[in-house]
Every structure is written in C-alpha cells, then in structure tokens.
C-alpha cells in the first residue's frame, strides 16, 4: 500500500486538474494540487503507512491552495480592462456637427465618426460647439457643453 499510495494520489491529482480544464472555477485545481503534494508527501516513510494522515494532509493542502487560488481568481476576473465599442466614448470630447435642438437630436463628431447626440439638460447646443460625452443611451450619445 505504501508504494501504491503515492501513485493513487498522483492519479487523483491529474484527474482533478483535467476536470478543472472543463470547469474553470478554481476549485478542482486546488484539489489537484493538494493531491499531488500529498502524493509527494506520502513517499516519506513516516507518512507512508497512515492513510488517515494522508487524507488529513490532502484536506489541509487543498484548503490552503483553495484560499490562494480564490484570491488569484478574484484578481484575475476583476480586471475587465477598458471599455469597448460605444462605451469607450464616455468622457471624450467631440464637436457638434449638426446643431442639437432643445429636447431634440443632433450630431456630434468624435474621432472621425459622427454619432446621434442629445443634450443632457435638454438645452440647445449650436454647431461647432465643443461637448463632453456624459453617457450612452442605446446608440445615442448624451452630451453636455464642455467648459472652455
């Protein structure tokens, strides 16, 4: 059993890591690493004969790895990067190419592209004015007159 125990733990570790590939929840990887470490530890003569000690070590190592993987996973998943598509326009400055009437739609040119725009406070904005993009509503930009 003593020579065979480390084989079993190693096989379990590899199986858990393969399962993690198909279920990326950072859970099975901790079990896999815990089983591999237990496999290596079960080669120590003191630990070879004690199945309950090996199971205890597996639980402890898996739990410790799970805590570290959880922190790593949170950091990895929280980094969403920058905004894309139309939402990347928030905060940018554009120029009114077609006047925005009171409570109506006009056009704003931002980075070489023209977008339908409405005024944030429903006040008219004349052609050529500099505007800041406050928000996005569907495919319309919500703008306000930029301070000069």
pLDDT tens by residue, 90-119: 888 999 999 999 889 999 999 888 999 999
Given 78, 110, 128, the domain boundary residue is 78
Kindly state whether residues 109 and 72 are assigned to the same domain.
no
Helices (H), 1-148: 2-22, 28-41, 45-48, 51-78
Structure tokens given for 44: 């120590």
pTM (predicted TM-score): 0.51
DSSP-based three-state secondary structure for 90: coil
Write the CATH number for 126: 2.40.50.140
Q: Is 24 exposed, middle or buried (0-12, 13-18, 19+ CB in 10 A)?
A: exposed
Angle between helices 2-22 and 28-41 (to 10 degrees): 160
Residues 89 and 125 in one domain: yes
113: its two tokens: 């592209």
Clarify whether residues 59 and 20 are in a common domain. Answer: yes
**Residue 32 domain boundaries:** 2-78
Task: Look at residue 1 in the predicted model and tell me its pLDDT.
Answer: 43
| Residue 147 banded pLDDT, cuts 50, 70, 90 | confident
Examine the fold and report which residue of 78, 96, 122 is the final residue of a domain before the chain moves on: 78
- Checking if the pLDDT of 80 tops 80, the result is no
- At 103 the pLDDT is 86
User: Number of folded domains in the chain?
Assistant: 2
Domain boundary, last residue among 55, 78, 101: 78
């Amino acid at each position: 059993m003593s020579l065979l125990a480390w084989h079993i733990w190693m096989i379990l570790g590899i199986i858990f890591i393969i399962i993690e590939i198909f279920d990326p929840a950072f859970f099975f990887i901790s079990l896999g690493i815990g089983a591999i470490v237990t496999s290596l530890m079960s080669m120590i003569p003191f630990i070879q004969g004690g199945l309950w000690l090996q199971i205890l070590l597996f639980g402890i190592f898996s739990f410790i790895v799970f805590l570290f993987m959880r922190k790593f996973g949170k950091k990895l998943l929280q980094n969403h990067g920058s905004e894309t598509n139309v939402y990347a326009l928030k905060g940018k400055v554009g120029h009114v190419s077609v006047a925005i009437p009171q409570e109506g739609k006009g056009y704003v040119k931002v980075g070489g592209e023209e977008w339908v725009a409405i005024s944030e406070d429903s006040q008219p904005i004349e052609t050529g004015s500099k505007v800041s993009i406050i928000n996005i509503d569907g495919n319309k930009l919500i703008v306000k007159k930029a301070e000069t």
